[in-house]
């Protein structure tokens, strides 16, 4: 199935992209996607559990199972205001 | 009436304040967040805000709606900027009106605290020799 990844702020800089389409296996979780990225993107390991996730613009836990056409956003703690 | 916006343009503070609330409101409370010229002992030249636009707009509206319901506000306006913000400019305004002051004060504090916790917007400080992302709330 296909999903879209979006990255923001210093996570975007670590990834080197702000948006990417990925083909992943059915039933994959957010955690599994992140683990795969960590193997190819060393700087991502520095975020140590502080990363936040949103699927289709709603916050979600790492255990969330992704569906076809989902958009997974990955970002650091927010600092607006 | 609850109005929220995420915009690149400068915030029209006078226009917002002139239009908030009505004749049955005894209180208007506002918070304006401005770009500060320092961070610790470093001089900041300007700020840049990055936003996850679609999600940030939904969150701003949800937080303002929630506050308006909880404190029975008669009106509430929240505007947050993205992109480059110069020193001294407002990056955010929150304005709330209610018949009595207590509700408006509490609502505005709740809204800014919750925005800083939840709305996907990130601040970058620019110095003469580089820039850093501001560490967010964890």
pLDDT tens, residue by residue, B62-112: 999 999 999 999 999 999 999 999 999 999 999 999 999 999 999 999 999
Query: Are A78 and B135 inside 8 Å of each other by CB?
Result: no
Q: Which residues touch A51 (CB under 8 Å, ≥6 apart)?
A: A11, A34, A44, A74, A75, A76
**Which domains are assigned to chain A?**
2-75 (3.10.20.30)
The answer for B 56-115 residues in CB contact with A (under 8 A) is 56, 58, 80, 91-92, 112, 115
pLDDT at position B112 is 98
CA dist., res. A34 & res. B42, Å (int): 35
Terminal-to-terminal C-alpha distance of chain A: 37
For residue A50, the chain B residues in CB contact (below 8 A) are: 138
pLDDT at position A48 is 80
Mean pLDDT throughout A37-65?
Answer: 93
Q: Is residue B81 part of a domain?
A: yes
pLDDT at position A49 is 86
Q: Is residue B135 part of a domain?
A: no
Locate the chain B residue with the closest alpha carbon to A19: B52
- Does B51 score more than 90 pLDDT? yes
Tokens found for residue A72: 């997974």
Mean pLDDT throughout A69-73?
Answer: 98
Counting residues of chain B whose pLDDT is more than 70, the rounded percentage is 99
For residue B133, the chain A residues in CB contact (below 8 A) are: 9-10, 76, 79
- Does B60 score more than 90 pLDDT? yes
The number of domains in chain B is 1
Q: Could you list the residue range(s) of the whole structural domain that residue B40 is in?
A: 2-129
pLDDT at position B137 is 74
Locate the chain A residue with the closest alpha carbon to B118: A78
CATH for B68: 3.90.1170.40
| ipTM of this complex prediction, to 2 decimal places | 0.95
CA dist., res. B1 & res. A25, Å (int): 46
Q: Which residues touch A81 (CB under 8 Å, ≥6 apart)?
A: B33, B80, B91, B92, B112, B115, B116, B121, B123
- Does A76 score more than 90 pLDDT? yes
Mean pLDDT throughout B103-131?
Answer: 97
């Amino acid at each position: 199935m296909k999903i879209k990844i979006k990255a923001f702020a210093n996570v975007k800089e670590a990834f080197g992209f702000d948006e990417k389409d990925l083909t992943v296996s059915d039933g994959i979780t957010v955690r599994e996607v992140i683990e795969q990225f960590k193997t190819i993107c060393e700087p991502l390991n520095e975020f140590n559990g502080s990363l936040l996730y949103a699927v289709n613009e709603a916050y979600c836990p790492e255990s969330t199972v992704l569906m076809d056409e989902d958009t997974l956003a990955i970002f650091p703690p927010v600092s607006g205001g | 009436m609850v109005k929220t916006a995420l915009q690149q343009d400068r915030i029209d503070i006078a226009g917002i304040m002139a239009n908030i609330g009505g004749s049955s409101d005894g209180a208007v409370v506002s918070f304006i967040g401005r770009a500060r010229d320092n961070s610790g002992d470093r001089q900041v030249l300007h700020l840049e805000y990055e936003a996850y636009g679609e999600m940030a707009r939904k969150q701003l509206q949800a937080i303002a709606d929630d506050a308006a319901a909880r404190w029975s506000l008669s009106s509430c306006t929240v505007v947050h900027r993205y992109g480059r913000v110069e020193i001294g400019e407002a990056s955010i305004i929150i304005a709330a009106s209610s018949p009595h002051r207590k509700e408006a004060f509490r609502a505005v504090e709740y809204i800014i605290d919750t925005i800083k916790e939840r709305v996907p917007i990130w601040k970058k400080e620019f110095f003469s020799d580089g820039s850093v992302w501001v560490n967010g709330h964890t």
